[in-house]
Structure 1
Amino acid sequence: MAYSVKDLAKVFPLGAVEENCIFSKWGDITISFQLTLPEIFTLNARVENGVEMGDYRELVDTWSKAIGVLPPGTILHKQDWFVEEKYRTNAKELPESYLDRASELHFNERPFLHHECYLNLTFSQGERTRTKAGVTSLLRPGLVQRRALNKNEIEKFMVAVLQLTSILESSRLISCRRLGNDELQPDRHAPVGQAGLIERYMTLSLKDEIVPLMDMDFTSEDELRIGGKYSKFFTISQVDDMPDAINTNVRIGALSTENSNLSVGYATPIGLMLDCNHIYNQYVFIDDKTLITAELEKKAGNMMALSNFDRANAVNAVMVSNFLTLAAEKSWSPVRIHSNVQVWTDDKLKLPELRNKTTAAIAKMNLKPRENTKDAAFLFWAGIPGNSPDLPREDTFTQFAPQAACLFNHETNYYSSESARNSVRVVDRLSGRPLWVDFSDEPMQKNWVTNRNKFIIGPSGSGKSFLTNHLLRSYHTHGAHAVIVDVGDSYRGLCAMLGGKYITYTMEKPIHFNPFHIEGRLMPDTEKAESLKNLLLTLWKSVEEKTNRSEYNALSAAVVGYFVKLRENPSIVACFNTFYEFMQEDFKDYLKREGVKDDFFDFDNFMFNLKPYYSGGEYDFLLNSVENLDLLHEPFIVFELDNVKDHPILFPIVTIIVMDTFISKMRRLEGVRKIILIEEAWKAIMTPNMAGYIKYLYKTVRKFDGEAWIVTQEIQDIINNPIVQDSIVNNADCKILMDQRKYENKFAFVKELLGLTDKEKDLVLSMNRANDPNRRYKEFFVSWGGQQYRVYGLEVSRPEYYAFTTEQKEKLRVTRKVKSNGGNYDLALKEVVTEDLNA
């Protein structure tokens, strides 16, 4: 059979698209939906007391209930499209930033499978749902109009459709959107035309623009030809092809371990995991229960009558009898089902490769692959949205709705976030398709988390610091302010590239601050006053010495009195020196007037212990800076504490000032995202004196559009530090884990500590086990409050790699290039990349 476009018009089975419905020339009515499915690798499968549970079971049960509300004469046709596409960069809208442009160009032409899922519900006359191969509309020279469905039947069908969509959406795993006239078959007289679903199917194209219908050739027994595309069909259409038992999911061995099982839906091997152009059609025919039961009973009787001629007839009779018994016991209605995979390619020589891929994928489901040649044309014709009644009855077999639902494709690609603010570019783990993911705001809006705080953990070499650099740069690009506390020099390059403030301690240039400077000479707010009092107490007393109420009240009076004097005398420079002089004169007189005894506040002891920080003292540089005055408006600040982390005097003072800097930003910068990131420095910072700060910070930062991040290497460190465990882990709803394979055999305590679910554990242990050797990337796991979880890939362009690397040799190489280019990071990165390409 070869059909020209004119011939197709003669036998085309559809009559009209009106009222958002498809009407066939036989009088059938079809309502179509686009379905949004769960993302792959996000559904869980578990067994409790020998009973299969989890999301896959829930989906199967949901579909079974939905099928159960459809009236006899209905055909459910679920059609999943998987089309090869390439990520396209818009050359006219490339970002101005060199790194952003490099990222766009790096992913340009990246191939991936685009997936769309459609559900067509067709209500037809009884005899039309039992079509035989010889009477399909494809073989008729003309179609005879049949009687239209009566109004009552249509109303019952419409009510059933509403019930079905309600049941599907009640699972919260599927959403349904009804397709309108223009999406099914747009008006060709419209100024801007777009291809409808029907035209897309007839041209095997998901392109938005209208593609003219093409000639079709069904004469070859090896393949169908749809225009310039060559196609084959593989079916699941006989009960003998099915295994003894069918599951809701299948285990992915390459991503599983002895201690973990990563699963996908039972049909996913012929879904997203079949990397070629294909359509997966799933049909369920709802017949009259009385008729189909009578047919099965008659079949069993005939087989038993012929059992003397062949033992197989007796066996089959018992199987049919058992089937009917199960239907009675479970109150299940038998349905007829059929599934097929249509693959296609522009290159005819690739058909053998597609055959091997498809049969291997079907075999992974423990099914017998069956290639259809003789009736492939009928299968294609029945796949037209709205023409499912044309599927030959001989290609269906009887089963129950749960078994039919197991054969449904339940999963789709990863989605990009809906919001653009603070989105970060990552890639999906199947194809490396670039995604934009919002790790902060969208999870809050969708109630996955109650705060934006992040806990990032990964062993040395897992890519932890690299990922953090990438996240920070992305947030900075979106306008966020970041304060970073580091030990290990992981952010020097990023800070220089972004023009940030890098504060560290060296003998030539000691670290220095001015905590007494407030922009506009304002009175300190509550947090600022508390920070200054805490600083003065740290300067005055050791960790072991206690502070009584009278001493604390005296310091409160001192701080308020000093800032009142600053407002009255604009000529006084706000710094520690002038504060010390205020204490020597004004505050001493105040204590005398108030009659404060030494037992209440030991003034001489206080002044003696603070003298080293006054002019001429050993640490007079520390609190009298004239440079680091306006840290409030610095968007990117790194405090490198490696050289002071063990200093008994400098370190506690510096940490207080760091916290004060961030709290000032948190309180005073409205409409700006604020981030405080504490790298390995948290081990030194988490002292009893700092515990109050950390607890306050983690519980309060959310209210001021802020985020607190902790980055660490060893999980054991967390266990040994109750401050971290109680204050940070429990108040960081977003947990990011890098490669944890070193903990594979002792992951139970990690799972318990971080409060991970079994599904999250399986995902964590699946990371980096089956990475594409042709791409350079590492995977990481993210959990938003245990409500949603994903494994993403971090893949960047070559320039970005050198911008974020923490390898010493590579950092030095970039640093030298930066110096030779007068501080220009873009030129330095270009030169390094060019050298690599020419090497």
Structure 2
Amino acid sequence: MRTVTTEQAYGIDGFIDNVIVSKAGAITVPCLLDNPECYSMDQKDMNIRHDKFFQSFSTLQPNTFVHKQTVFIRDKYRGNFPDTFFGNARRKHFDGRLYLRSKCVLNFISYGYESLNKTYVENPISFRKSLAKADKEKLDAFLESVQTVYANLNDLKDTRLSYMTQRDIKDYIFDFVNGFHGDSGIRDISFRDRIYCGEKKGVMFTVCDENYLPEKMYVSTLDSTLESSNSELFMSTFEKIGVHLPCTHVVNEIWEFEGSLYRKELDIRVKLFGQHQEFSEDIRYKHKQLVDYQNEMIAEKNLMCRYNFNIMILEDDDEILDACVDKVKDVFRTNDFKFYVPTFEGLFELYVANVLGREHKIPSEYLFLTDLHASLCFSLDYDIFKDDEEGIYFNDRIYQIPLRRDIWDAKKRRIPARNSIIVAATGGGKSVTALNIIQQNLDQGIKTVIVEFGKSFYQLGQLYAGRTLHVDYNGSEPLGINPFLLTSEGLTNAKIRILVQIVLKFLRSHDLSDDTAQVVSLTKLIKYYYDMKPEYPSFPDFYHFIQDKKESIHKELDIKEEYFDVDYFLHVGSEFVSGGIYENVCKYSELEKQMEQNDLVIFELTQIKKDPFLVSIIITILFDTVDSKILSDRSIKGNLVFDEYAETQALKDTFSGEDVHSAVAFFYQKIRKENGAITTVIQSPAQLPDNNYTKSMISNTQLLYVLPTTETVYDQVIEAFHIKNDSHINLMKSIKNHFAAEKPCSEIFIRFLDLYATAVRLELAPEIFLAFQTDGEVWAELQKRMQMYSSMEENIEDFLQERKSQKKKHISPILMNDDS
């Protein structure tokens, strides 16, 4: 048995900035490496990544070690949710769930400095000047080569290399040599049949001999960690013992580079086996392999190196330890690798060699001669899913813990704006997805105006009762929204354009293009009207203004009569003044003020669904109110949502041809303010007409959400959104719903333009599952019960308690989860 103290394992003499000077006479430069998130790369991406690492490592100096150490810590989730009904429900449901957190360190070590330790001890501040000339030149060349690797790897997709600070390095090594206990305790480490460190036991596996390798090495292989689908996702050979191994473990890769020295060693082996090939068939076969390998190395300009791959599992739970040991063995066997399990002295030596700054002390028997391309095939490429700094909570795809994605992206890291489209089949979860986003937006202070033909959001309004305005508009009461009332910005060009748009809709005009004589005439008339400083501007007042100046208006504004037909204007526009069929559209009420005062405004237009012209008018006026009244205050963020948009866009006035779709497409183009967004929910792009309005909507969409659907719809999405990135396409087609699983959830593909895409899950706490009901028996029962409760929150909590006591499982498996 071998026992060492933390100090003995630590091995650091001191620091120069963020560079370690080790007691063993080496210079070490540790960097943090952020890797792409799981499932995000296709074969092409992985080949590019492989080649970039090869090119980067090829520039390193002789007497250089590289150590890639990826640490995975099993931990219990603790969320930072707001103290609200929804936040508390998420905290209760998810806190304590097991998951992995990770950190990857890429460490560069240069050794063989004869004057290093002596000069550092004598003068740590300016020791570099006192180094022997040869050592100084060697150190400068090493640091320059590290900088080259640093620059190259930072060019990779979704990859970031950053230098660690002294504090980070000290904390990291302290955690490593103390067994990742997560406290400040110092522990001895014993090496027997296993590693013993505090409450934890450990096992190590290593590939340390070229004979342990299979016949062929691969950069990537098909990802088998998800249920099969009509897509191909890829991973590295050993990815299953990375993010998918549910225990505390450390994956180590150690390279030693010696320039042309190892090529000469290969030449000697070829010659040696050639001299003895007549003695046996095995030697003859090995000689042929070596000759082929040598020729391949020359042809590919490959680089020889010595390499070790090892994994350490360290757990305080024997059951988890044994299960993960079996899983690691299975991964080795499945990929046709042999492995060695060190114990006692060998276990001690390999463990210490994995401590940052001690890598060059690894015993030579643990390193085997190979080429750089082959060694890189061992590397883990993926990282766990990591939270954005802010955003909306979904769930990650591995451990199903809450995962935050910044879909507003105020800092514009991924997208310049945030207009979105949600695509999902009937019953596929689109309303729940929209509710999840909208509910969290409300908690984050984003005002939301929803246009719907149903009651999908009615219950959400009940949960935000003091902040919600629900308008079930029937056309018989004053709408109360006055687009002619200006804000503090005054009559801007943008405001003139929207007023022209509204007036043309009132007139049922077919031609709304900006270069028509009618548009120019209306622009002049509206500017002239405001120049007269009306006391209370409105469409009826504008109408009477034109009526009063009927005889002189053309001459005063130099407008030809054929460019603006006053009689037509007065005749058709009369429908919107007192006595007209649509007089209530322009009549005053408190509604507009209430819209500004509430955070959630739901316009239910079911009752006027049979009047597409009126629907189009109201949607246009709503857009103006959101854009000019709500979003004009830059401190307020706002989102306009159209639910079941396929049904909405089909509404069309048979007389004028005016439809809702053209109006919404106009909004997508015009909402460019940093504090505004528009969202539509559809079943398929094929539901939208193939015209310029649809093309305009799609070209002005930055966020695409797709829920599990058919191959036909996936293909329609690819075509409509011109998706050419294979990794995005395969990721989208890989999503599935898991409603019958132990932890029921749906999956959502989210695409941020061309640069970034991810797949997330959505698992609901029982309270939120009930809160997001949009119809059906459960919804009807909750609504019926509201007569007995003062709030929907209290109603839902009692409902859950009753169902748990009765053990009625017909609602959802998630509601009966004893851990919830």
The 1:649–1:122 alpha-carbon spacing in structure 2 relative to 1, beyond 3 Å, is: closer
Alignment correspondent of 1:415: 386
Tell me by how many angstroms 1:458 deviates: 0.8
Report if the CA contact (8 A) 1:98-1:826 is conserved. yes
Report if the CA contact (8 A) 1:521-1:567 is conserved. no
Tell me by how many angstroms 1:116 deviates: 0.6
Structure 2 CA distance, aligned partners of 1:545 and 1:308? Answer: 90
Pair 1:198 & 2:181 matched: no
Match of 2:417 among 451, 467, 475: 451
Alignment correspondent of 2:195: 224
CA offset digits 1:649-702 (Å, max 9, x no partner)? 533332332233223236622232222222224413686566664454323312
Pair 1:623 & 2:586 matched: yes
Match of 2:606 among 642, 655, 665: 642
Pair 1:246 & 2:220 matched: no
Q: How does 1:386-535 map to 2 (within 5 A)?
A: 386-418=357-389, 420=390, 423-441=391-409, 445-446=412-413, 448-498=414-464, 499-506=467-474, 510=477, 512-515=479-482, 518=485, 525-535=492-502
Give the 3-state SS of the residue equivalent to 1:26 in structure 2: coil
Pair 1:28 & 2:16 matched: no
The 1:16–1:760 alpha-carbon spacing in structure 2 relative to 1, beyond 3 Å, is: same
CA offset digits 1:449-484 (Å, max 9, x no partner)? 333211211111111111111111222222222222
The 1:531–1:356 alpha-carbon spacing in structure 2 relative to 1, beyond 3 Å, is: same
Pair 1:65 & 2:60 matched: no
Q: Which amino acid aligns with 2:31?
A: F
Alignment correspondent of 2:801: 834
Pair 1:739 & 2:702 matched: no
Tell me by how many angstroms 1:430 deviates: 0.6
Tell me by how many angstroms 1:197 deviates: 2.5
The 1:690–1:563 alpha-carbon spacing in structure 2 relative to 1, beyond 3 Å, is: farther
Structure 1 CA distance, aligned partners of 2:718 and 2:246? Answer: 34
CA offset digits 1:275-314 (Å, max 9, x no partner)? 2111101011113523x33433333343344434431111
TM-score if structure 2 supplies the norm length?
A: 0.86
Tell me by how many angstroms 1:315 deviates: 1.0
The 1:169–1:561 alpha-carbon spacing in structure 2 relative to 1, beyond 3 Å, is: closer
Q: How does 1:301-312 map to 2 (within 5 A)?
A: 301-312=271-282
Match of 1:210 among 158, 177, 184: 184
Pair 1:174 & 2:142 matched: no
Tell me by how many angstroms 1:593 deviates: 8.8
CA offset digits 1:26-67 (Å, max 9, x no partner)? 32332222211121111221xxxxxxxx22112211221222
Q: Which amino acid aligns with 2:108?
A: L
Report if the CA contact (8 A) 1:521-1:566 is conserved. no
The 1:770–1:273 alpha-carbon spacing in structure 2 relative to 1, beyond 3 Å, is: farther
Q: How does 1:278-427 map to 2 (within 5 A)?
A: 278-290=249-261, 292-373=262-343, 375-418=346-389, 420=390, 423-427=391-395
Q: CA RMSD in A?
A: 3.4
Report if the CA contact (8 A) 1:27-1:148 is conserved. no
Match of 1:110 among 58, 83, 97: 97
Structure 1 CA distance, aligned partners of 2:136 and 2:356? Answer: 23
Give the 3-state SS of the residue equivalent to 1:670 in structure 2: coil
Give the 3-state SS of the residue equivalent to 2:328 in structure 1: helix
The 10-residue stretch of structure 1 (538-547 or 475-484) with the greater mean CA deviation from structure 2:
538-547
* Percentage identity across paired residues of the two chains: 20
Alignment correspondent of 1:144: none
TM-score if structure 1 supplies the norm length?
A: 0.84
Structure 1 CA distance, aligned partners of 2:166 and 2:416? Answer: 41
Q: How many residues align?
A: 776
Structure 2 CA distance, aligned partners of 1:259 and 1:774? Answer: 24
Pair 1:800 & 2:785 matched: no
Q: How does 1:91-130 map to 2 (within 5 A)?
A: 95-125=82-112
The 1:821–1:566 alpha-carbon spacing in structure 2 relative to 1, beyond 3 Å, is: farther
Tell me by how many angstroms 1:562 deviates: 6.1
Structure 2 CA distance, aligned partners of 1:746 and 1:522? Answer: 44
The 10-residue stretch of structure 1 (432-441 or 515-524) with the greater mean CA deviation from structure 2:
515-524
Structure 2 CA distance, aligned partners of 1:545 and 1:117? Answer: 57
Tell me by how many angstroms 1:386 deviates: 1.4
Report if the CA contact (8 A) 1:486-1:640 is conserved. yes
Give the 3-state SS of the residue equivalent to 1:657 in structure 2: helix
Q: Which amino acid aligns with 1:160?
A: S
Q: Which amino acid aligns with 2:742?
A: N
Structure 1 CA distance, aligned partners of 2:315 and 2:28? Answer: 29
The 1:414–1:685 alpha-carbon spacing in structure 2 relative to 1, beyond 3 Å, is: farther
Q: How does 1:703-742 map to 2 (within 5 A)?
A: 703=673, 705-718=675-688, 720-740=689-709, 742=710
Give the 3-state SS of the residue equivalent to 1:650 in structure 2: helix
Tell me by how many angstroms 1:525 deviates: 4.5
The 1:621–1:698 alpha-carbon spacing in structure 2 relative to 1, beyond 3 Å, is: closer
Alignment correspondent of 1:137: none
Structure 2 CA distance, aligned partners of 1:559 and 1:28? Answer: 78
Alignment correspondent of 1:138: none
> Any stretches of 5+ residues in structure 1 without a counterpart?
46-53, 128-146, 186-195
The 10-residue stretch of structure 1 (223-232 or 23-32) with the greater mean CA deviation from structure 2:
23-32
The 1:329–1:537 alpha-carbon spacing in structure 2 relative to 1, beyond 3 Å, is: closer
CA offset digits 1:573-605 (Å, max 9, x no partner)? 666666665565x34465699799987766555
Structure 1 CA distance, aligned partners of 2:539 and 2:137? Answer: 88
Tell me by how many angstroms 1:416 deviates: 1.4
Q: Which amino acid aligns with 1:663?
A: D
Match of 1:42 among 40, 49, 74: 40
Report if the CA contact (8 A) 1:124-1:149 is conserved. no
Give the 3-state SS of the residue equivalent to 2:33 in structure 1: strand
Tell me by how many angstroms 1:166 deviates: 2.1
Match of 2:718 among 751, 766, 783: 751
Q: How does 1:574-585 map to 2 (within 5 A)?
A: none
CA offset digits 1:595-622 (Å, max 9, x no partner)? 9998776655554544454445544433
Alignment correspondent of 1:135: none
Q: Which amino acid aligns with 1:457?
A: V
Structure 1 CA distance, aligned partners of 2:635 and 2:514? Answer: 38
Tell me by how many angstroms 1:401 deviates: 0.9
Give the 3-state SS of the residue equivalent to 1:726 in structure 2: helix
Give the 3-state SS of the residue equivalent to 2:82 in structure 1: coil
The 1:478–1:489 alpha-carbon spacing in structure 2 relative to 1, beyond 3 Å, is: same
Structure 1 CA distance, aligned partners of 2:611 and 2:445? Answer: 35
Report if the CA contact (8 A) 2:64-2:111 is conserved. yes
The 1:218–1:603 alpha-carbon spacing in structure 2 relative to 1, beyond 3 Å, is: closer
Tell me by how many angstroms 1:342 deviates: 0.8
Alignment correspondent of 2:208: 237
> Any stretches of 5+ residues in structure 2 without a counterpart?
115-131, 807-820
Structure 2 CA distance, aligned partners of 1:37 and 1:699? Answer: 36
Structure 2 CA distance, aligned partners of 1:124 and 1:358? Answer: 33
Give the 3-state SS of the residue equivalent to 1:502 in structure 2: strand
Alignment correspondent of 2:813: none
Give the 3-state SS of the residue equivalent to 2:592 in structure 1: coil
Give the 3-state SS of the residue equivalent to 1:767 in structure 2: coil
Q: Which amino acid aligns with 2:416?
A: T
The 10-residue stretch of structure 1 (299-308 or 482-491) with the greater mean CA deviation from structure 2:
299-308
Give the 3-state SS of the residue equivalent to 1:518 in structure 2: coil
Structure 1 CA distance, aligned partners of 2:521 and 2:10? Answer: 91
The 10-residue stretch of structure 1 (785-794 or 31-40) with the greater mean CA deviation from structure 2:
31-40
Structure 1 CA distance, aligned partners of 2:154 and 2:642? Answer: 42
Tell me by how many angstroms 1:632 deviates: 4.2
The 10-residue stretch of structure 1 (223-232 or 780-789) with the greater mean CA deviation from structure 2:
223-232
The 1:703–1:56 alpha-carbon spacing in structure 2 relative to 1, beyond 3 Å, is: same
Alignment correspondent of 1:816: 784
